[in-house]
Amino acid sequence: MVMGMANLAMATGNFGKNGVGVNPLRGQNNVQGSCDMGSFPHELPGYRHVSDNLVRQSFEAAWNVPLQSEPGLRIPNMIDAALDGTFKGLYVQGEDIVQSDPGTQHISAGLKAMECVVVQDLFLNETASFAHVFLPGSSFLEKDGTFTNAERRISLVRQAIPPVPGKADWEATAALSEAMGYPMRYNHPSEIMDEIARLTPTFAGVTYEKIERLGSIQWPCNEKAPEGTPVMHIGGFVRGKGKFMITEFVPTDERTTGRFPLILTTGRILSQYNVGAQTRRTSNNVWHDMDVLEIHPSDAENRGIKDGDLVSLASRAGEITLPAQISERMQPGVVYTTFHHAMTGANVVTTDYSDWATNCPEYKVTAVQVQLARHISEWQQHYRQTRRMTTQIEKESAAND
Amino acid sequence: MIHMANQIGSFFAAYPKNEAVAGIKDHLEKFWEPRMRRQIIEYAAQGAGGLHEYVLEAVKQLAPAPASK
């Protein structure tokens, strides 16, 4: 899809000038920033592959440690490897993979199989239930840093109050590193940015002082473009002329069957943010206090389902129950729900299929059956029991604070 | 793993065979962690049942993946 859109933009001349290009609408505010900084398991900052000896050596020299030249595992591969017994530990910061990733039971089993799971988050989210160690996270109001949006624009995040847990996230990570024998001695996030600038050519001219002065900076920012680069690819690409790629459509192998005749697609709504770990604890619940299953009137009628009925939603992966909402906006044969509420467990139903290129989970196509239900699913009963215990811990912790 | 490998094969099947095999090999080397490469090399050596023809050719050309440290 991405290559196809790039092909289309090149064919129509929509590169290298104001107001054109291909931009993803990110699901989170700093996806771009984390990708820029080498969060992919195969890249170092600046989108440089770990097998590039010169690049790797520059980081090895700066950090005084050897770095692997091989790609690492992506999340679904980590879970598989954990179940194989070859992946032992995970440090999760600000992400709730148990609720957000497909195949909840698979993810849970993988986490259970690990020897050490460290979760650092604002709240005791679903993944925290599997943590051996929980570290308190700090919100954007409690730390300095930068966010980078999809137009490569780096902006400052300014601390408004001291971190409630006592340490900002980066300080907790540095302390953990030091405890494990590798001191990270930064006095302020601006010193981390200085290091990024020393090691990453596209960030060579970025400093906190410059971002403050200019308001924001779009990378590349270096000697050639000291105030950043609002428009890339003017007059051509780094490689010269653009390269058109053949983009064969690779359809999903997920198929509807007599047993699972409908397609489930999952998504998000405006008033809850992703897994809802933050927004479910606010009055936003007034607008969306539960996940519902939207279903076309004819599919509902065929199953004797009325608006508000409790229905079971089952796939080859698992089964949940939730209220039905009859909706003309659905196509016949397609049902839809959100994954904002942990109690719903929408990802109990989704499968572990993912795309071949990036392992992006296949949230939009799961073959399912929908039927009237009399009671909540087995998974939801089990969830209620275990969640009661973690909620108690959360309340006691809040009371002690 | 085989499912994902075959999807890679399906994508590259639109290319001339030599380019397709090279593209698949490049993808496996750049994005598959060594233990995943070891698993697919082993699978291919054991008969490669159900593996896309181009993927099998690419896997045969893969260098042995380094052992875990």
Q: How confident is the model at residue B48, as a pLDDT? A: 75
> pLDDT of A223-279, one tens digit each?
999 999 999 999 888 888 889 999 988 888 899 999 999 999 999 999 999 899 999
Distance, in Å, from the CA atom of A105 to the CA atom of A212, rounded to the nearest integer, reads 46
**Interchain CB distance below 8 Å, A248 and B8:** no
Asked if A341 and A280 touch (Cβ cutoff 8 Å), the reply is: yes
**DSSP character for A140?**
G
Q: Do B15 and A70 touch (CB under 8 A)?
A: no
Q: Calculate what percentage of chain B has a pLDDT beyond 70.
A: 97
Query: Do the domain assignments include residue A139?
Result: yes
- A234, part of any domain: no
Minimum Cα–Cα distance from B32: chain A residue: A71
* Domain count within chain A: 2
- pLDDT score for A34: 95
- Cβ atoms of A14 and A231 closer than 8 Å: no
Cα–Cα distance for residue pair B55/A212, rounded to 1 Å: 51
Which of A49, A68, A359 faces B30 most closely, judged by CB atoms? A49
pLDDT of residue A245: 92
Residue to substitute from A75, A79, A356, A359, interface B, most B β-carbons within 10 A:
A356
Give the ipTM of the model, two decimals please: 0.92
What single letter denotes the amino acid at residue A57? Q
Pairing verdict, β A319-326 and A293-295: parallel
Dist CA A13 CA A21 (whole Å): 9
Q: Does residue A214 share a domain with residue A131?
A: yes
Q: Is residue B23 within 8 Å of residue B12, measured between CB atoms?
A: yes
Q: End of a domain among A218, A233, A248? A: A218
How far B47 CA sits from the closest chain A CA (Å)?
22
A333 token code pair: 């044969």
Residue at A355: amino acid letter:
D
| Residue A204, in any domain of the structure | yes
Hey, how many other C-beta atoms are within 10 angstroms of the C-beta on B65?
19
Q: Which residues of B touch A42 (CB under 8 A)?
A: 30-31
CA A42, CA A136: separation in Å to the nearest integer?
28
For residues A93 and A25, membership in a common domain is answered with: yes
Alpha helices in A162-261 (DSSP H): 169-179, 189-199, 208-214
Q: Are residues A21 and A120 in the same domain?
A: yes
One domain, residues A292 and A200: no
Count the Cβ atoms, other than its own, within 10 Å of residue A310: 15
- In degrees and rounded to multiples of 5, residue A146 shows phi and psi of -135, 150
Q: Which residue of chain A is at minimal alpha-carbon distance from B68?
A: A86
> Nearest C-alpha of chain B: how many angstroms from A71?
5
Query: What pLDDT shows up at residue A28?
Result: 85
Q: Tokens 């490689």 correspond to what residue?
A: A239
Q: Cβ separation of A77 and B13 shorter than 8 Å?
A: no
Sign of the alpha-carbon dihedral angle for A276, A280, A281, A285: positive
Looking at the structure, do residues A82 and A134 belong to the same domain, yes or no?
Answer: yes
Residue with the two structure tokens 């912790």: A397
Is B17 in the A-facing interface, judged by CB distances under 8 Å?
A: no
Which residues constitute the domain of residue A306? 262-400
Amino acid B26 reads: D
Domain membership of residue A235 (yes or no) is no
CB pairs under 8 A between A and B: 48
- What pLDDT does residue A7 have? 94
In this predicted structure, the answer to whether residue B68 has a pLDDT above a threshold of 80 is: no
Amino acid letter, residue A253: D
Nearest-angstrom CA–CA distance, A164 and A142: 7
Structure confidence at residue B1 as a pLDDT band (50, 70, 90): confident
Q: Residue A379: which CATH number? A: 2.40.40.20
The answer as to whether A197 is a domain residue is yes
Beta strands A43-44 and A48-49, pairing class: antiparallel
Residue type, A158: R
Closest CA to A156 of A221, A222, A208: A208
Mark out chain A residues that contact chain B at CB-CB < 8 A. 41-42, 49, 51, 68, 70-73, 77, 80-81, 86, 246-248, 250, 253, 353-357, 359
Question: Do residues A20 and A118 both lie within one domain?
Answer: yes
8 A C-beta contact, residue A296 and residue A328: yes
Residue A223 included in any domain: no
Residue B33 has pLDDT above 70, yes or no: yes
Domain C-terminal end among A188, A218, A248: A218
Note whether A56 and A50 are within 8 A (CB): yes
Q: Do A42 and B4 touch (CB under 8 A)?
A: no
Is residue A361 within 8 A of residue A76, CB to CB? The reply is yes
Helices A75-84 and A104-113: angle between axes, nearest 10 degrees = 50
Asked if B33 and A356 come within 8 Å (Cβ–Cβ), the reply is no
DSSP character at residue A262:
E
Percent pLDDT > 70 in chain A is 98
Cα separation, A345 vs B38, in Å, equals: 35
Q: Cβ–Cβ of A70/B66 closer than 8 Å?
A: yes
Average pLDDT score over residue span B23-37: 96
Chain A touched by B8 (CB under 8 Å): yes
Q: Do A355 and B14 touch (CB under 8 A)?
A: no
Output the pTM of the full model.
0.91
To the nearest whole Å, the CA of A99 is away from the closest chain B CA by 23
Last residue of a domain, one of A183, A200, A218: A218
pLDDT of B52 over the 90 cut: yes
Q: Are residues A26 and A104 in the same domain?
A: yes
Specify the pLDDT at position B60: 94
Decide if A227 is inside a domain.
no
Across B18-37, average pLDDT: 96
Low-confidence ranges of chain A (pLDDT < 70): 394, 397-398, 401
Q: What's the pLDDT score for residue A253? A: 87
B1, B29, B35 ranked by CB distance to A86: nearest: B35
Question: How is chain B split into domains, by residue range?
Answer: 2-61
Quick check: B43 contacting A, CB < 8 Å?
no
State whether the Cα torsion A199-A202-A205-A208 is positive or negative: negative
Instruction: Examine the pLDDT at B69 and tell me if it is beyond 60.
Output: no
Task: Give the gap in angstroms from C-alpha A236 to the nearest C-alpha of chain B.
Answer: 24
Residues A200 and A317 both lie in one domain: no
Q: Which conformational region is residue A179 in: left (phi greater than 0), alpha (psi within -120 to 50 degrees), or beta?
A: alpha
Residues on chain A touching B35 (C-beta within 8 angstroms): 81, 86
